[in-house]
Structure 1
């Protein structure tokens, strides 16, 4: 089963004293890159959610946004004594240095952020099971969306692979014409230069040299193996994006070599179509896990 790296899910939970929303977004990325946004009071949950993502997702940037509001929240006022003392000491130094008359006042201290902090408290032990359950539902929905998109992408990839295979078959069919084409062209050139004084041994030697230079038998053999590997990996499913992309690079290399050795216009047209199909496949592979 092929999964896309892109997907979306959103889940909400609401009760008399609690409103919870979880949103998951997926984007293409070479590696797994989870980004989790939580209220500061739930920071200890981050690693747990991160580990849960890793059990379901192998590649892609995954953003998780968790928002929580509770009617049962209590607000606590906390004074940062160390910061307040440091500010008072600094103000007194300024007073002595510049012979100022006014003493540091409460309003002076309140002008600085962080001296007084408001912290919201809630009974986390009651909230955590709800968060875990809602996150699990959202993650299931997220994977289902990735699967739907992955199936669509998989169909496109297989269509392009079929197109590649059809053009490759053209090359296989035309391979047998390469020797006769070279032989005909070679004898024609010898005839133009030497007329009737053609030496058969010399032609055969030259023909053998050109056949070695323009033979595409090895490239065809390797391409057959790569196509079979690609199909097997694709059918196996899972996180195969990187492996399939590597195989595409190898297939492109063999296709380019065939193009550089080619002497037939039919093969040239097939090579162009194969390269275009491979480019389309690689474009689609950037979207799958």
Structure 2
């Protein structure tokens, strides 16, 4: 199911003078529909080491979905630029000279390069792992709540379609016996007309038997009682799975395919416009269910 969650907190300061104070640690989680769990991480440079811990956390909480996790550290309004210590700058100059002695074409360090390198060497590396995992847990709680709300809406929609399908099946039930009786009477009328035209030349018993045989074959050809029985069984099973909850998306997807098969067969056996309309309405609702049922976990 789809969902979005984000969280931020103040990044812990590092170093004796509180280097890094005023920075914010942020995390976003986006989830879209997928049959399997597919995780993508977009982490800033200083957070890349936390990917295994984040992956373990998400796989323990999520089962399906294409999930993108974005984590970053950015400066806040109180962030300040720390001036590198003179000994550190001198050391960078020595290293630059040594490199250029071996590689004359090497580019000199820029101010930005010096600030970046001195920031990394002038203070111990911040351990952002605990803070990032704390953010991820909070964001996962928010994401789970959003997915549950969407799931409740999907289940309500599916239950509504199930009720409509059951009503259509109820309407289709009496149509076939009535149609069979109408067709039997029509065959008998044709037989009587044939007898009158033949003026006794044909054997009445043989003609009547042929008419009844054709009526029986027609009744068998258009009988959809078996399809309606299976359709009702599938509707009951889908209702049971929705009541049960949990990871039922794949089973629901299979049952939707079976519903579609029965609706197609019912439509192909249709011998009246009313039954054809019922079959078309069924397929429309089943298709609406099919588009959403894979989202249900």
TM-score range normalised by the length of the shorter chain: 0.7 to 0.9
Distance in 1, matches of 2:37 and 2:187, equals: 57
Q: Which has the higher contact order (CA 8 A, sep 6+)?
A: 1
SS in 2 for 1:63: strand
Q: 1:55 aligns with which of 48, 56, 60?
A: 60
Distance in 1, matches of 2:124 and 2:168, equals: 66
Say which one has the larger Rg: 2
Per the alignment, residue 227 of structure 1 pairs with: 235
Aligned ranges for residues 184-203 of structure 1 at < 5 Å? 184-191=185-192, 193=194, 195=196, 199-203=207-211
Name the structure with the higher strand share. Answer: 1
Unmatched segments (≥5 aa) in structure 1? 89-103
SS in 1 for 2:72: strand
Aligned ranges for residues 181-260 of structure 1 at < 5 Å? 181-191=182-192, 193=194, 195=196, 199-260=207-268
Q: Give per-residue Cα distances to partners, 1:143-181, cap 9 Å, x unaligned.
A: 111111111122112111111111111112323213213
The aligned length equals 263
Per the alignment, residue 10 of structure 1 pairs with: 6
Q: Does 1:68 align with 2:69?
A: no
- Comparing 201-210 with 19-28, greater Cα deviation is found at 201-210
Distance in 1, matches of 2:34 and 2:232, equals: 30
CA 1:181 to 1:123, structure 2 compared with 1: closer, same or farther past 3 Å? farther
Q: Does 1:46 align with 2:51?
A: yes
Residue pair 2:270, 2:276 contacting (<8 A) in 1 also: yes
CA 1:268 to 1:13, structure 2 compared with 1: closer, same or farther past 3 Å? same
- Comparing 271-280 with 14-23, greater Cα deviation is found at 14-23
CA 1:58 to 1:267, structure 2 compared with 1: closer, same or farther past 3 Å? same
CA 1:189 to 1:258, structure 2 compared with 1: closer, same or farther past 3 Å? farther
CA 1:85 to 1:238, structure 2 compared with 1: closer, same or farther past 3 Å? farther
**Considering only aligned residues, what root-mean-square deviation do their CA atoms show, in Å?**
3.3
Per the alignment, residue 159 of structure 1 pairs with: 160
Q: TM-score, normalised by structure 1?
A: 0.78
Q: TM-score, normalised by structure 2?
A: 0.76
**Displacement of 1:69:** 4.2
